[in-house]
Structure 1
Amino acid sequence: MEYPIIILHGWGATVKSYGRLKPLLEQGGNSVFVFDLPGFGKEALPPRAWSVGDYADWVENKIREELDSRSRRNDNGSKFILYGHSFGGRIAIKIAARRPEGLRGLILCDTAGVTPRPKTKIAIFSFLSKIGNVTFSLPSLKFLRPLARKFVYWLSGERDYHYLQGDVMRETFRAVVSEDLSSFLPKIHTPTMVVWGEKDRMTPLGDAYAINRGIAGSKLEILGKIGHNPHLETPEKLAAIVDKFIKELD
């Protein structure tokens, strides 16, 4: 059976990031819906700093609009597949844990948010931030503050900081990366496929095993010699995995 696939992109990505994967998935007979999340691509910034839950609310409304449109076209759009990559996977976990009507399958690709950041890392990051705030508040050094902030985020491993736009997205980023979603995994009862790049350095392979253990009955597919972005590095192989997973749902 054909199901619409809703794709949630990662932090700093846009609709354009799926220019190679989307047509490959469509070749398998499934319609694919990709949209920019608030604060990325052509979508406006959130009205305030958002949490993962806020993004989940927004996405659920977007999905309802799309499914209603498909139903009016007699497009068998009452059920859907949710695909989340990295940051998009955080949102997908939150949505799936709510058990929304119509969710037929869940695909989590190199998903973030299931491993708490080490306390030492948080402490170092906090210390560097405080030192930077004091030092670069001096009138003679104020112009260096944006550059110093980027350096602190890079040093702490939070390289996605480079994609932030203004205070709203900075606060959103802090809220998003500080939330551990491990407790939501046991609440997911939708058939789930976990796909991971073996060489992922942003969300290590250990996170894949944690998600696989946390979601009862989930399947795990590891892509050898692939990093954090399978949709860019090996779209053909990823599309084949997704297509096979969907076909096995019926």
Structure 2
Amino acid sequence: MPTLVLLPGMDGTGDLFAPFLEALGDQFKTQVVRYPTDQELGYDELLALTRRFLPIDEPYIVLGESFSGHIAISLAAEAPPLLRGLILCCTFVRNPRPALEPLKSLLPFVPLHWSPSAALGWALLGSFGSIALRAAIAGAVRRVAPKVLRARLRSVASVDVSAMLATVKVPCLYLRASRDRMVPASASVHIQDVLPLVSVVQINAPHCLLQAEPAQAARVVSSFVSEVQGAL
């Protein structure tokens, strides 16, 4: 079976994949990519870092969660010979909230680590998730330097990999959360417009889909991996 390479959301720690990895069990190998928590790296630098985690002698599938969709798409557009599939989870190919673009200049002044846990939970989980999961998400965000989070938000504000996505040839799955308060449904609609063959699966979940509904997400991802394996 192909190895599943997981690219994390905005926190970049990779720790929040734990519920999803537990739900996957030992069906196939996984590789979690972790971004530095103290370095202001842009998408190009994170892409170069991610390449170092990719298997060099076995097939693999890349899953890009939220912030990392850009990196996953960029990798797929390079058409590496061992890449067998692409999974996008609650992510986007261009700024999902263009109306906020004029506020980008205010990012240096946003006290990200002062945001109440309740507000963070509302945005990422809504009415889903346990107290433990909410604490884990808040803890992961706190481990990342504020300057790093601001740099990643700036990257999101100016991102657009639509042209790259259009060149992707491997099978592609998009996991859409029906209760996503961060990335609107229009983001996945645009992805379908650019790459009509993408398979979209909607799950009743918040933005943190893999964390809030890990069992359902694992079933969908496992099915996709099996289909890709069967097509080899």
TM-score, reference length from structure 1: 0.72
- Asked whether the equivalents of residues 64 and 71 of structure 2 are also in contact (C-alpha less than 8 Å), the reply is yes
Query: 1: CA distance between counterparts of 2:202 and 2:110?
Result: 38
Q: Kindly provide the CA deviation profile for residues 30-61 of structure 1, in whole angstroms up to 9, marking residues without a partner as x.
A: 1111132122xxxxx33xx4321221111012
Alignment of 1:162-181 (within 5 A): 165-167=145-147, 169-181=149-161
Change (3 A) 1:172 1:124: closer
- Alignment pair present for 1:10 and 2:23: no
From 28, 42, 65, the counterpart of 1:30: 28
Query: 2: CA distance between counterparts of 1:248 and 1:79?
Result: 14
Note the C-alpha offset of 1:13: 4.9
The CA RMSD over aligned residues, in Å, is: 2.9
Query: 1: CA distance between counterparts of 2:43 and 2:65?
Result: 14
- Asked whether the equivalents of residues 86 and 112 of structure 1 are also in contact (C-alpha less than 8 Å), the reply is yes
TM-score, reference length from structure 2: 0.77
Highest Rg: 1 or 2? 1
Q: 1:235 matched to which residue of 2?
A: 214
Give ranges in structure 1 of 5+ residues lacking alignment.
40-44, 72-77, 134-144
Q: Which amino acid aligns with 2:8?
A: H
Aligned length: 207
Identity %: 24
From 50, 63, 76, the counterpart of 1:59: 50
Aligned to 2:176, what secondary structure does the other structure show? Answer: strand
Query: 1: CA distance between counterparts of 2:16 and 2:187?
Result: 23
- Alignment pair present for 1:244 and 2:209: no
Note the C-alpha offset of 1:18: 1.4
- Alignment pair present for 1:102 and 2:102: no
Note the C-alpha offset of 1:14: 2.5
- Asked whether the equivalents of residues 116 and 180 of structure 1 are also in contact (C-alpha less than 8 Å), the reply is no
Change (3 A) 1:148 1:94: closer
Query: 2: CA distance between counterparts of 1:192 and 1:107?
Result: 6
Moved over 4 A (4+): 145-151
- Asked whether the equivalents of residues 42 and 152 of structure 2 are also in contact (C-alpha less than 8 Å), the reply is yes
- Asked whether the equivalents of residues 61 and 83 of structure 2 are also in contact (C-alpha less than 8 Å), the reply is yes
Aligned to 2:186, what secondary structure does the other structure show? Answer: helix
Note the C-alpha offset of 1:172: 4.4
Higher relative contact order (CA 8 A, sep 6+): 2
From 187, 200, 203, the counterpart of 1:207: 187
